């Protein structure tokens, strides 16, 4: 279960009434924020993880609703970051149910504005949306104490897995 927190511009396009009190996300990357962007005559949706500021970009138009396309794009991004497949599968399983709500963090919105400017600069007609998102994910971010979203996301996803593994090893040693 996760919350997709859309800007007013995107909510209007989606024609969805936002949930006033969404439940807490069960994903390790937390809520996802989304904003509609127009770059070089392309209509895109920039999605950003609240916990890591990891960006994912999807086309605004598609056969499936945005909430159904976002998990696939997140899976592609995590695979590109070499996150182990079982961890990716777990995160995607947590993204099967979605609640749509309004944005709630000005910090995330500020980072999204910075990412939109970066996308304008990185834009290449031949680049895939994943390639562009990977470039943005490598930018140091002030809210992350100049950490890079790609590194923070991997750390968040792998940390719990490592802690579980370490605990199992210790139990196996009789400690």
Please report, for the chain, the start and end positions of each structural domain, with discontinuous segments joined by +.
Answer: 2-172
User: What does the alpha-carbon distance between residue 76 and residue 110 come to, in Å, rounded to a whole number?
Assistant: 25
Contact 5, 32 (CB under 8 A): yes
Rounded CA-CA distance 66/3 in Å is: 12
Question: What pTM was computed for the model?
Answer: 0.89
Q: What is the DSSP string of the chain?
A: -EEEEE-HHHHHHHT-PPPSSPPPP-STT--EEEEEEEETTEEEEEEEETTT--EEEEES--SS-HHHHHHHHHHHHHHHTT--HHHHHHHHHHTSSEEEEE---HHHHHHHHHHHHHHHHH--TTS-HHHHHHHHHTS-BGGGTTB-HHHHHHHHHHHHHHHHHHHHHHHHTT-
CATH of range 2-172; options 1.10.1060, 3.30.420, 3.30.1360, 2.40.50:
3.30.420
In the chain, the percentage of residues whose pLDDT exceeds 90 is 86
Token couple for 129 = 């949306």
More confident residue, 44 or 160: 44
Average pLDDT, the chain: 91
Say yes or no to pLDDT of 169 above 50: no
pLDDT tens-digit profile of 101-125?
999 999 999 999 999 999 999 999 8
């Amino acid at each position: 279960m996760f919350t997709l927190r859309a800007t007013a511009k995107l909510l209007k396009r989606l024609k969805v009434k936002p949930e006033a009190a969404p439940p807490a996300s069960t994903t390790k990357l937390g809520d996802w924020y989304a904003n509609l962007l127009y770059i070089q005559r392309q209509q895109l949706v920039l999605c950003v993880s609240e916990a890591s500021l990891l960006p994912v970009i999807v086309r605004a138009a598609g056969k499936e609703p945005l909430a159904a396309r976002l998990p696939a794009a997140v899976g592609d991004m995590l695979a590109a970051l070499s996150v182990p497949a079982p961890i990716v599968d777990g995160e995607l399983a947590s993204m099967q149910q979605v609640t749509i709500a309004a944005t709630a963090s000005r910090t995330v919105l500020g980072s999204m504005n910075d990412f939109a400017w970066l996308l304008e600069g990185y834009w290449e007609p031949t680049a895939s949306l994943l390639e562009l998102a990977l470039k943005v994910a490598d930018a140091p971010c002030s809210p992350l104490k100049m950490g890079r979203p790609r590194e923070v996301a991997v750390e968040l996803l792998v940390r719990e897995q490592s802690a579980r593994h370490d605990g199992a090893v210790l139990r196996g040693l009789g400690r």
